[in-house]
Chain A
């Protein structure tokens, strides 16, 4: 069906380059607009107000997952998590309730057109979406739940929405899987003091049974020796200047986001599935079926395999 020859990805699939999680992530080498442009995102992607930088998503996915794992973003927005997961050779699912979900679909289509293996989908989040996912066999299948805190004019509303999402999608995360939530620094609109949003996220994650593993920093500025090169826009600098005048104290330019890493049921080891989810193939199948459909078939409806014969039966035979 797809006669297009397999083209090497612009960014080759990379295995985790660091098996040790550091508390500061070097994800600020390039500014956000450069990351979006170089990775082929739709130009409207930058309009997402709570956009997660592609470098942050890539670092998280390549550090905490392996090829063939499933990555879930319950509030994907422009689809950054889904795209970076596909680029890294993982399967990805994005849920969104936003009217502009066409943007995520456009980004996923673009990365699939580049030849990214794996299966990626963007679904509209409904009250029955999670139940349907459980019926499809996704329970305890997700290796990484990666999302960002999306704030509204009322910060409490964003935290409440995140609590609802975690409650709904918590059963999909496999025991020992990771939940990563990123949070940009925010200030009170009138008092101009920092809001302890990471503290609120820690509290609500604890309420859904997630154990905090690390509190890291995803850098949004480039570090070269002793020098820091920020990528703050003129509007951001003007905002900082305005806050400085209002408070009468020096205010620093934001150069990092907070990343909270949690683990799901670290003390409970779930039984291994009979057939692990296959890793995305490197070459298109010659059977005439598209790569995405094959990946979907293998992912959702595993074929019976001779290796599933219990050892006791083999020994008896």
Chain B
């Protein structure tokens, strides 16, 4: 029997000890409930209830990261979630700025500005504060891009910004022609620490060619992850969806599609509550004249697509498609 030396101050203590004694009593109902809770919690831990990401990231209205000006709040949250969820402290992260497309037609309304992926490189300090090393790079255009800059100033600017310049594999390089690409491969082998564990980039819906002309194996580790943020766009009355093109491009080069995550950038409208819905007072027997069939249904975009790709195991030769199957929009 517990005893207290102080009367008044021991009131709560006495009640706490009394509750403790009650917890320790072995009534059958309480014992059964305790066992069930323990079983449920064990199963929950084994099944991963505690920290399981979902394919829906609701980042609508997120605040901008400190120290950023152009980077959208939702995009900053995406970067933080990717870094904390798919890397460990000490890993290397690459923020790959996509090149601004030559034409960008967007019919979206809302808060989406002219460039939703502007300021991707501004998240450098945020990634550093998370304990990862980070680098910035800019993607290179494909060979068919009409405005490929050839002046040295642009090349120097890219190299000085990141120290790493992605270059497409030379299509004219044969087995006996060892020049720059082979030397880069050798450098990559000699300095495996230059590769990254996570590459975060963005892809505009009308410009996906540069993905096929980038040698990802030279900049990503064997266990690394590529995170590509993109969105669908309506050009006129047709849909331009780059998701399949991006997936086909990476799969044709031996990458596996790990996940497709939806990032909400605007709040959703809740569906009308059934109890508040009212039937129109006067419902005609015959249907009213239908709207013209040529009327286009407006579409409001409230999300972006985050596509995650990882390298296939070395022995999975059947996974990589033939080069002819790659298709870009």
Contacts and interface: CB of A to CB of B under 8 A. Distances in A.
A278 B287 CA distance: 5
Interface in A234-262: 234, 237-238, 240-241, 247-256, 261
Contacts of A219: 56, 268
Given A211-B238, A215-B239, A266 B296 contact: yes
A149 to B, nearest CB: 15
Interface in B276-300: 277-280, 283-287, 289-290, 292-300
Interface residues of B, number: 69
A15 interface: yes
Contact of A20 (B56, B256, B268, B300): B300
Contacts of B256: 191-193, 247
Nearest to A264: B293
B60 to A, nearest CB: 9
Given A212-B238, A269-B294, A67 B287 contact: yes
B247 A253 contact: no
A18 B269 CA distance: 9
B302 interface: yes
Nearest to A226: B58
Nearest to B86: A250
Contacts of B52: 237, 240, 252-253
A199 B296 contact: no
A115 interface: no
B43 interface: yes
A237 B297 contact: no
B287 A228 contact: no
Contacts of A281: 285
B36 to A, nearest CB: 15
B243 interface: yes
B207 interface: no
Interface string B43-68: 10011110011111111000000000
A221 B56 contact: yes
A199 B243 contact: yes
B12 interface: no
A285 to B, nearest CB: 10
B259 A251 contact: yes
B248 A196 contact: yes
Contacts, number: 210
Contacts of A250: 53, 85-86
Say what secondary structure dominates the interface of chain A.
loop
A182 to B, nearest CB: 15
Given A215-B241, A249-B86, A253-B55, A22 B302 contact: yes
A54 interface: no
Contacts of A270: 293
Interface residues of A, number: 80
B109 to A, nearest CB: 9
A272 B86 CA distance: 56
A194 B260 contact: yes
A120 interface: no
Given A21-B300, A191-B256, A249-B86, A237 B47 contact: yes
Of A29, A192, A263, most buried by chain B (CB within 10 Å of CB) is: A263
Q: Which 7 A-B pairs have the closest CB atoms?
A: A176-B293, A199-B244, A68-B287, A255-B56, A193-B256, A212-B239, A17-B272
Interface of A: 11-15, 17-24, 26-27, 29, 55, 59, 64, 66-69, 174-178, 185, 191-194, 196, 198-199, 202, 211-215, 217, 219, 221, 223, 225-228, 230, 234, 237-238, 240-241, 247-256, 261, 263, 266-267, 269-270, 272, 275-279, 281-282
28 contacts: A12-B274, A12-B278, A13-B279, A15-B280, A21-B300, A22-B268, A26-B268, A27-B271, A176-B293, A176-B295, A196-B243, A199-B248, A212-B239, A213-B237, A213-B238, A213-B239, A214-B297, A215-B232, A221-B56, A223-B268, A228-B57, A247-B256, A249-B310, A252-B52, A252-B54, A252-B261, A279-B284, A279-B287
